Structure 1
């Protein structure tokens, strides 16, 4: 697959994943399934799926860990310039120590703290959304592998 086909295919995967999460949010008004960092996750998962930063463990646990840190700060420490910086620093260090580095997840503490999210945010959109992106990414990789194996007639 040449770079143009790969770019279109990657864009199609991102379109499917993000649109599905947005559509699910619209259908179920009590739950949110989308957040801005997922746009950056889509770049990695669909654009460079072989990257260590795009692996399922990194996507899911990177988002979970950093969201958890942001929620801890919202609930127990509060939001200030210093706490925003501290939470982000802990998120970066935490991902590196646990080997779950996923750069888009670095935005989670900021997003969560600046919008005052509650613990339910950890489940949806964070967990449900990250798993959805990973699953769609794996499906797209399988489709891509089949396309590349078939000779063009």
Structure 2
């Protein structure tokens, strides 16, 4: 597949993943399924799917680990300029130490702390959203493989 088609295919995959999350978010009023870092996640998952940073383990656990740190600070430590900095630094270190580095997830502590999220945020949107993006990514990769081989 040439670069133009790969770029179009990546854009379609990103649109599908975010579309599924945004539509579901709009239809289920009591559940949040989308957050800004997922936009950057789709760049990696659909644009450079073979990158180590775009692998399912990195996407899912990178988001979960950094979100946990953000919620922990929000709920138990407090939000100040200093704790925003410390939480972000801890999130980066935690992803590197666990080999789950996913750059978009680096925004999670800031997002979570600045909006005062609770523990439920780890389930939705973080876990559910990351899993949906990974599943749509796998589907698109399989479809791309089918198109290339035919």
TM range (shorter): over 0.9
- Paired with 1:141 and 1:20, the residues of 2 have a C-alpha distance of 17
Please give the alpha-carbon distance, in whole angstroms, between the structure 1 residues aligned to 2:89 and 2:47: 27
Question: For residue 108 of structure 1, what is the aligned residue in structure 2?
Answer: 108
Pairing of 1:2-151 with structure 2 (within 5 A): 2-150=2-150
Query: How many Å apart are 1:145 and its aligned residue?
Result: 0.4
**Could you list the per-position Cα deviations for residues 42-74 of structure 1 after superposition, in whole angstroms to 9, with x for gaps in the alignment?**
000000000000000000000000000000000
**What is the TM-score with the length of structure 1 in the denominator?**
0.98
Distance 1:55 1:43 in 2: 12
CA-CA distance at 1:105 after TM superposition: 0.2
Mapped partners of 2:119, 2:76: distance in 1: 12
Give the Cα–Cα distance (whole angstroms) in 2 for the partners of residues 126 and 14 of structure 1. 17
Q: Structure 1: which 5+ runs fail to align?
A: none
User: What displacement does 1:7 show?
Assistant: 0.3
What secondary structure, in the 3-state scheme, does the structure 2 residue paired with 1:104 have?
helix
Shift of 1:33: 0.3
CA drift of 1:124 comes to: 0.2
Q: Residue 73 of structure 2 aligns to a residue in which SS?
A: helix
Residue 30 of structure 1 deviates from its aligned partner by: 0.3
SS of 2:117's equivalent in the other structure is coil
Q: How many residues align?
A: 150
Structure 2 unaligned blocks of 5 or more: none
TM-superposed CA distance for 1:112, in Å, is: 0.1
Deviation at 1:110, TM superposition (A): 0.1
Deviation at 1:119, TM superposition (A): 0.6
Structure 1 segments of 4+ aligned residues over 6 angstroms from their partners = none
